[in-house]
Chains A and B, each alone.
Chain A
Amino acid sequence: MRFHPPRGMRYAPGMDNDELPRAHHDLGGVPKFLCEPVDVEPHALTDFDKEVDAIRQILGAKQVMSVDELRRGIEAIPEAEYHRLSYYRRWIRSITDNLLRKGVITEAELRAALGSP
């Protein structure tokens, strides 16, 4: 693959300027992934994945939490965690974050429901 340095401009669209803040979910053209192979093998969803997906849909349909709020919560996951967590692990984390933030559930209720590890 060929990657040309940007022309002699302070800023041009698409240039890889590390000084310009970039959210870690905003992945279009990010250099560190350009040489990474795409895993094109099928990966079946687990029961966990499907349940998280279904809960998200129900919360959306009942206007408890929008898909935009889900995304905000996913984007708020620190970068290393974001890339370490599987897709639906990010979702359950964001869903929980939103339910707490919106007062749908309280921290005390969640602690109680989690019980002791």
Chain B
Amino acid sequence: MSDLLETQSERLLEAVRGLLAQKGIASPSEISERIAITDRASPGQGARMVAKAWTDPAYRALMLADGAKAAEAIGIPMRGMPPLGVLENTPELHNLVVCTLCSCYPRAVLGYPPFWYKSAAYRARAVRDPRTMLAEEWQTVIPAEVKLRVVDSTADYRWMVLPLRPAGTDGWSEDRLAAIVREGDMIGVTIPTV
């Protein structure tokens, strides 16, 4: 069996695709449909949640209590998805999410995990020298007086960060706020700025 598993990946995929279709488990059209659905999840969705939480205290409370309900409340499909926890950054606390064991990521609201999130370097360093890593790789400097909390996503939840609303955004609309929130802001490697 092990020799079969060492088959070149593209050939393995082609063979498995054929067998799954033959057995009625996954047809090519089901696969295309699933790809299309998955492509619809993107950091823009998480950014909409963040922007709404910045402008609507009731929504913010809902988001911190139950991320999945908050996602559903703005039309993000969460059925069959793992529970979503939201980690609130404050002036005293900065959250950083990593999955040291694999690559658990809040895909429902951020889309596919980025390359760096899945890398051995990120997974090794985020729990051990997070401040150095953030400064070296993202030029994100967490002030010494701010506590850094690294959240290792090891089990059934998925975690996203609710970043701090940057100064200079008073009176901005939700859309305008959402446009400044990036993928990394919702994992904690970067901080939204204007």
Are A and B close enough to touch in the complex, i.e. CB under 8 Å? yes
Q: Judge whether A61 and B80 touch: CB under 8 Å.
A: yes
Q: Judge whether A92 and B80 touch: CB under 8 Å.
A: no
Expressed in whole angstroms, the Cα–Cα distance for A36 and B124 within the complex equals 9
Partner of A28, one of B5, B30, B112, B123: B123
Partner of B15, one of A58, A62, A93, A113: A113
Partner of A110, one of B4, B32, B120: B4
Expressed in whole angstroms, the Cα–Cα distance for A73 and B129 within the complex equals 29
Expressed in whole angstroms, the Cα–Cα distance for A104 and B114 within the complex equals 31
Partner of A40, one of B15, B101, B116, B123: B116
A43 within 8 A of B: yes
Partner of A38, one of B13, B34, B121: B121
Q: Judge whether A37 and B5 touch: CB under 8 Å.
A: no
Q: Chain B residues near A25 (CB, 8 Å)? A: 101-102
- Chain A residue nearest in CB terms to B36: A54
Q: Judge whether A54 and B12 touch: CB under 8 Å.
A: no
Q: Judge whether A57 and B4 touch: CB under 8 Å.
A: no
Partner of A51, one of B17, B101, B103: B17
Partner of A107, one of B4, B12, B118: B4
Q: Judge whether A87 and B118 touch: CB under 8 Å.
A: yes
Per-position binary interface string of chain A over residues 34-54, scored 1 when its CB falls under 8 Å from any chain B CB and 0 otherwise: 101111111101001011111
Q: Chain B residues near A42 (CB, 8 Å)? A: 114-115
Partner of A54, one of B11, B38, B127: B38
Q: Judge whether A38 and B122 touch: CB under 8 Å.
A: yes
Question: Chain A's nearest CB lies how many Å from the CB of B84?
Answer: 16
Q: Judge whether B115 and A74 touch: CB under 8 Å.
A: no
A29 within 8 A of B: yes
Q: Judge whether A28 and B127 touch: CB under 8 Å.
A: yes
**CB within 8 Å for A107 and B1 given contacts A25-B102, A37-B137, A54-B38:** yes
From B18-26, B60-68, B85-93, give the one contacting chain A: B18-26
CB pairs A–B below 8 angstroms (9 shown): A28-B101, A29-B128, A30-B120, A48-B10, A51-B17, A51-B31, A54-B34, A55-B20, A55-B31
